[in-house]
């Protein structure tokens, strides 16, 4: 986000704040400058400290990498089959929500830069139980995601080298991203920086070639006009229900944008990095997602089987660029590697923050000499490897259901962010801790209320629709169970776990 002239003063004030409340009341001690989260300030609070070695360029690319991954290259095909051309509405609505959620996170994280991010904001707004629930709900999906992505990556390699067993390749890839994360946060940032550049270049080239074809300027490919938008059952062939279901997939695709606020706890200049990445999110989501999806649904019938399997490869094949599919597989491999890298990073930092705040076993807050939470990384990877081996050697539909359920918890995370912003935003504006220049959410609190209402309404519709009811209800039950556990801990063990 944007940093005002008073940033240095604000940072000094933040460093001087008292530690966060761990009594379970959620009303922690505060000064005129507001609450402290304790992240990255271990020097003054005595708490474990992570290294601050991420540069602004790392943070910018991490924010792009979090928003552009396998969900766009592969998952969007499923969403297109669910909504038809109406996928553009689903992604436009989701993009608007993402932009507002990121603005809320930017406002709160510049004021309170912390590796625990929204889990810490939930704790400060509603009490220990909310931080506990937010953190664990967020964490549990990452090891499962890491398992799924490792298998998908291994399948790509298996296509190139059939002699390599999928389980072995998956383990090697997981070992690679684990080694990168254990080395240093700088190594993670560098890997993301270069891999994301590759993804951005390919997507930009894809959109450029697609626009040339749509304009009828590509030899051998007549302009499709708007026929594919209306000739196969209309613009909304599955009705509005299809758009709502596709919105869930779109949210899953966008999940990861919040990693930039987690990374802020290890940035050399958190405020400047967050301001810049959040300022450009509108361009990123509109160009990368809406731009590429518009090209796909304009050039190909939405109900084409090839679109459902691999929309980008199907489009390139339609344009006569068959050899480009190999390049796309390389890019997809890189995108999956980037996603896995971020999954290990985000999950370990959230686990570290939970342990630091006594919401997870204390050994998970151990930090190496390079400022890396190695125990949190190893536990996350161990869970992912266990899931990987079970799914490879004993596949079960229960695993797929579990992945779907954790995917639906993206709603829960975003709802929690909006709710926390309502409380902390009002608290800050009524005191001396005003939002930094250029970071305040527009029309507060009305846009925050509108975002919260939209998320709750979308989730309610997901529960009503037969196609998504089971997973949504189970995700809600999981959320309630974790929240009740947090309330129990808040009451029984207010200061330690």
pLDDT of residue 370: 85
pLDDT band at 177 (very low <50, low <70, confident <90, very high): very high
Does 257 have pLDDT greater than 90?
no
Does 8 have pLDDT greater than 60?
no
Residue 46 neighbours by CB distance under 10 Å = 10
348 Cβ contact list (under 8 Å, min separation 6):
181, 373, 376, 377, 380
Q: Which of 202, 256, 193, 203 is nearest to 59 (CA)?
A: 193
Higher pLDDT, 344 or 75: 344
Using CA of residue 390, residue 391, residue 392, residue 394, what is the dihedral sign? positive
pLDDT of residue 70: 65
Does 181 have pLDDT greater than 50?
yes
Q: Which of 258, 406, 278, 407 is nearest to 346 (CA)?
A: 258
Does 13 have pLDDT greater than 70?
no
426-472 pLDDT, tens digit each:
988 887 777 777 678 889 999 999 999 999 998 998 898 888 888 88
Q: Which two tokens stand for residue 261?
A: 């606020």
Higher pLDDT, 61 or 155: 155
Mean pLDDT across 99-110: 88
Taking the C-alpha atoms of residue 31 and residue 433, their distance in angstroms, rounded to an integer, is 10
Which residue matches tokens 């809406």?
Answer: 290
Contact 99, 453 (CB under 8 A): no
What is the reported pTM?
0.82
pLDDT band at 88 (very low <50, low <70, confident <90, very high): very high
pLDDT band at 305 (very low <50, low <70, confident <90, very high): confident
Does 22 have pLDDT greater than 60?
no
pLDDT band at 250 (very low <50, low <70, confident <90, very high): confident
Average pLDDT over the chain reads: 80
Select, from the ranges 270-274, 316-320, 436-440, the one with the highest average predicted confidence (pLDDT). Answer: 316-320
Does 314 have pLDDT greater than 90?
no
pLDDT of residue 494: 58
Does 14 have pLDDT greater than 80?
no
Mean pLDDT across 234-248: 87
Residue 490 neighbours by CB distance under 10 Å = 22
Taking the C-alpha atoms of residue 336 and residue 306, their distance in angstroms, rounded to an integer, is 20
pLDDT of residue 424: 92
- Stretch among 37-41, 184-188, 327-331 having the lowest mean pLDDT: 37-41
Higher pLDDT, 187 or 481: 481
Taking the C-alpha atoms of residue 447 and residue 32, their distance in angstroms, rounded to an integer, is 27
Mean pLDDT across 319-347: 83
DSSP 3-31: --TTHHHHHHHHHTSPPPP-SSSS----B
Taking the C-alpha atoms of residue 86 and residue 295, their distance in angstroms, rounded to an integer, is 13
Q: Is 218 left (phi over 0), alpha (psi -120 to 50) or beta?
A: beta
Contact 387, 143 (CB under 8 A): yes
pLDDT band at 399 (very low <50, low <70, confident <90, very high): low
Mean pLDDT across 55-65: 73
Taking the C-alpha atoms of residue 102 and residue 307, their distance in angstroms, rounded to an integer, is 30
pLDDT of residue 456: 94
Does 240 have pLDDT greater than 60?
yes
Percent of the chain with pLDDT over 70: 85
Does 265 have pLDDT greater than 50?
yes
Does 229 have pLDDT greater than 50?
yes
Mean pLDDT across 116-128: 88
Higher pLDDT, 433 or 140: 140
Does 371 have pLDDT greater than 60?
yes
Give, to the nearest 10 degrees, the angle between helix 466-492 and helix 446-464.
120
pLDDT of residue 4: 38
């Amino acid at each position: 986000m944007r940093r005002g002239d008073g940033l240095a003063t604000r940072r000094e004030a933040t460093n001087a704040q008292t530690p966060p409340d761990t009594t379970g009341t959620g009303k922690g001690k505060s000064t005129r400058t507001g609450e402290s989260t304790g992240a990255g300030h271990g020097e003054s609070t005595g708490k474990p400290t992570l290294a601050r070695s991420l540069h602004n360029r790392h943070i910018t690319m991490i924010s792009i990498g979090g928003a552009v991954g396998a969900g766009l290259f592969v998952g969007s095909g499923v969403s297109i089959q669910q909504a038809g051309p109406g996928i553009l509405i689903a992604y436009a609505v989701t993009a608007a929500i993402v932009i507002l959620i990121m603005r809320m996170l930017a406002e709160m994280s510049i004021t309170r830069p912390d590796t625990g991010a929204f889990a810490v904001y939930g704790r400060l707004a509603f009490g220990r139980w909310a931080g506990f629930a937010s953190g664990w709900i967020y964490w549990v999906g990452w090891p499962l995601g890491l398992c799924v992505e490792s298998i998908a990556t291994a399948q790509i390699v298996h296509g190139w080298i059939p002699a390599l067993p999928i389980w072995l390749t998956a383990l090697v890839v997981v070992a690679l991203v684990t080694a990168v994360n254990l080395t240093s946060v700088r190594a993670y940032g560098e890997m993301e920086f270069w891999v994301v550049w590759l993804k951005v270049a390919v997507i930009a080239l894809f959109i450029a070639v697609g626009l040339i074809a749509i304009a009828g300027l590509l030899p051998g490919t007549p302009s499709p006009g708007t026929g594919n938008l209306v000739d196969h059952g209309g613009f909304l062939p599955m009705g509005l229900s299809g758009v709502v279901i596709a919105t869930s997939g779109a949210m899953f695709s966008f999940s990861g944008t919040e990693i930039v606020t987690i990374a802020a706890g290890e940035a050399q200049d958190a405020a400047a990095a967050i301001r810049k990445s959040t300022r450009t999110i509108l361009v990123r989501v509109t160009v990368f997602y809406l731009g590429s999806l518009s090209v796909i649904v304009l050039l190909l019938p939405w109900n084409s089987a090839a679109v459902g399997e691999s929309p980008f490869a199907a489009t390139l094949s339609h344009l006569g660029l068959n050899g480009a599919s190999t390049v796309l597989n390389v890019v997809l491999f890189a995108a999956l590697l980037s996603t896995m890298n971020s999954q290990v990073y985000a999950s370990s930092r959230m686990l570290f923050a939970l342990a630091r705040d006594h919401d997870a076993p204390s050994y998970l807050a151990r930090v190496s000499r390079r400022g890396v939470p190695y125990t949190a990384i190893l536990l996350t990877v161990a869970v992912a490897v266990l899931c990987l081996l079970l799914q490879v050697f004993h596949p079960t539909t229960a695993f797929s259901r579990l992945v779907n359920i954790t995917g639906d918890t993206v709603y829960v995370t975003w709802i929690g962010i909006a709710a926390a912003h309502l409380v902390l935003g009002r608290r800050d504006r009524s005191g001396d801790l005003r939002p930094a220049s250029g970071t305040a959410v527009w029309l507060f609190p009305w846009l925050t209320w509108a975002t919260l209402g939209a998320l709750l309404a979308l989730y309610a519709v997901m529960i009503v629709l037969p196609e998504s009811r089971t997973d949504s209800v189970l995700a809600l039950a999981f959320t309630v169970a974790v929240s009740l556990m947090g309330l129990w801990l808040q009451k029984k063990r207010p200061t330690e776990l």
